[in-house]
Structures are given as structure tokens and as C-alpha cells.
Amino acid sequence: MKPLLSVRNLVLHFDTYYGTVKALEGVSFDVQKEEVFGLVGETGCGKTVTSLTVIKLLPENAMIADGEVIFKSENLLDKSENEMRDIRGKEISMIFQDPSTSLNPIFKIKDQLVRVILTHQKISKQEAYKKGVDLLKSVGLPDPERLMNFYPFELSGGMQQRIMIAIAVSSNPDLLIADEPTSNLDVTIQAQILDLLKKCREETKASVLFITHDFGIVTEMCDRVGVMYAGNMAEIAPLRELLTNPLHPYTKALLLSIPTPSKRGKKLHVINGMVPDLLKPPTGCRFHPRCPHTMDICKTKPPPVTKVGKDHLVSCYLMENGDTKFE
């Protein structure tokens, strides 16, 4: 089946006063129709930048050095800004991490919501308003009519995020990108928002590109997972497969370091070293300085992607030897 979104070999650099930041180095992954794909990794690994590249909302100093972003059989990187504007909000929507800063503070909710609806749908203002109210209701907000006249700062974080979701799904997008939508919220609200997202996805049959650093959320939400490290895609696998059979050393270490009740009383697993400086990234495999299984070849070139099993991709030289089971 053809994937909805296919990112191939994305190379992204940033031009700064400090030098060139090599943010992404050949990132590839697919998002199928009607699936939730989780993009996981530490802060700074490139997950957000990847998503921004998909909708082409990068800052001025970003340079896409190589790669393609195929969405519905078209390369988005070739598209003009006008064409992208048609796609954003209508076919691909994005919700961001901090809802309190994602809404314009001096405009009422109704101004912002209705305007987005009118941008993509040729209906009258009154119809758009009514649609807006219905949307607010469908995301679980009480008293939506009154809410339309509120300013964002008058609402709680959870409510703001619901409004962001309402705006994002207002035109039934095929792909929803969610960049850590719950990281700034309380845990209880977090659960509610995640449920809401699940509900939206079921109703609209949209795919979701879910970005997070929290494996707990991954387990709850995602069908397939891609693990990123320092601008590289380390491993991609279906959720169960990744949890039971992680192959990349980084993924393994990551899973080991998640605190669970069974590890109570024991020392937490730590990955030695620090995240690399992307101005001068390590040669070859970017994880090699911290990897317990480094070989000489790891320092020379970035490892190729090996397909293991039906749907499991790993970017590691260890795979070449066919060693799929080791400590």
C-alpha cells in the first residue's frame, strides 16, 4: 500500500553565526494511511525540525540540502509557498507544544477559529461560525457559544490545546502533525488530550505524525515508531516489535533507562556521554562515541539502513553481520 507521507533522505542544515548546524542527516520514514506514527527522541534530536520541514515552515537560515517529502505522490519540497498554503491547514495540519503561545493573544477565539475555517472552505461567515461552535463542542469544550468570545489568556492550558486541535481538524486534514502536544500540560489533562486525539483520528480517518520524547505516550498512542538520534533515524518498527525486540543500541539503552516499578531500588541505567554538538557532529554513525558496541567501521561512514523482518528498519553496522540478538 502506498504510504500517505514518505520522507526520503532528508538532509537539513542551518546557517548560524556560530557555523553550519547539521541538523538532519539523511532522515527517511513513511507514514501510512490511517496510522499513528510516533517520532521519538531526546530534546534536540531533530524531531520538530523534521515536522517543520514537512510543512515547509522552516526559518530563513534553513537549507534543505537533499531529500524529498512525498505527500500523496507529490514532492512537497518542489511546491511554491502559495501551493503550500493551500495544503497547510487543509490537508496537513499541525498542533504545537505550547498552546498558550500558539494562539494570538489579542484576538478572540472566534476570530481565529472562523478565519481558519473560511480560509479553506467556501462558505458564508455565519456557516463558518456555526461550524466553529460545533467544532468546539466536538473537542469537548463546555458552553462553546460563550467560549467563542473569550481571549486565549482567559482559558486554561487544556482548553487552549483543545481549541488548537479544533482549528487543526476544522478542514478534515489527511495528516495531523502533533508536536509534543501534551508536554506543557498536567498529567490528567494530558490523558484527556490524548483521548481526544484518538477520537479525532477515528472520526476523520486521518494519519497522525506524533512527536514526543515520552515513551509512555508512545505506548498509548502509536502504531509504528521511529527513533531519532542527533539528526539520524536510528530505528523504525511497529510498536510491539520495538518494545520487545529493539535492535539499535540507542533504542535499547533508551528503553532500559525508562524508570518502571520493577526497577525500584536499583540504579537507573544511563547512557554515557552527551548529545553531540551538531556544529561538529561525530563522523560516521553519530551515536558511535556513546555506543557500547562501537566498531572501527562505525567511525567512517553513516551506517546503511538494514531491513530486519517484515517491517523493521535499523540503521546500524551491527546488523550487517546478521547479529540480531546480543546484550
Binding residues (CB under 8 A) for other proteins: these are 14-18, 21, 23, 43-49, 55, 57, 59, 61, 81, 85-90, 93-94, 96, 98, 101-107, 112, 115-116, 119-120, 151, 153, 164, 167-168, 278-279
Q: How far is the CB of 177 from other proteins (least distance, A)?
A: 8
Instruction: Give the separation between CA 193 and CA 201, rounded to whole angstroms.
Output: 12
Instruction: Give the separation between CA 279 and CA 41, rounded to whole angstroms.
Output: 19
Q: How far is the CB of 49 from other proteins (least distance, A)?
A: 6
If the CB atoms of residues 33 and 108 are measured against other proteins, the closer one turns out to be 108
If the CB atoms of residues 75 and 104 are measured against other proteins, the closer one turns out to be 104
Q: How far is the CB of 72 from other proteins (least distance, A)?
A: 16
Residue 291, C-alpha cell as written in the block: 555506543
If the CB atoms of residues 81 and 327 are measured against other proteins, the closer one turns out to be 81
If the CB atoms of residues 177 and 285 are measured against other proteins, the closer one turns out to be 177
Name the helix (H) or strand (E) containing 93. Answer: strand 92-95
Q: Which residue type does 160 have? A: Q
Q: How far is the CB of 52 from other proteins (least distance, A)?
A: 8
If the CB atoms of residues 67 and 246 are measured against other proteins, the closer one turns out to be 67
If the CB atoms of residues 103 and 298 are measured against other proteins, the closer one turns out to be 103
Q: How far is the CB of 279 from other proteins (least distance, A)?
A: 7
Instruction: Give the separation between CA 203 and CA 72, rounded to whole angstroms.
Output: 21
Instruction: Give the separation between CA 238 and CA 182, rounded to whole angstroms.
Output: 22
**Is 134 within 8 Å of 126 (Cβ atoms)?**
no
Q: How far is the CB of 263 from other proteins (least distance, A)?
A: 28
Instruction: Give the separation between CA 219 and CA 296, rounded to whole angstroms.
Output: 35
Residue 36, C-alpha cell as written in the block: 499513528
Q: Which of 73, 208, 115, 102 is nearest to 161 (CA)?
A: 102
Sheet strand arrangement including 74-75: 19-31, 5-16, 62-71, 74-75
Q: How far is the CB of 87 from other proteins (least distance, A)?
A: 7
If the CB atoms of residues 16 and 300 are measured against other proteins, the closer one turns out to be 16
Residues making up the chain, counted from first to last: 327
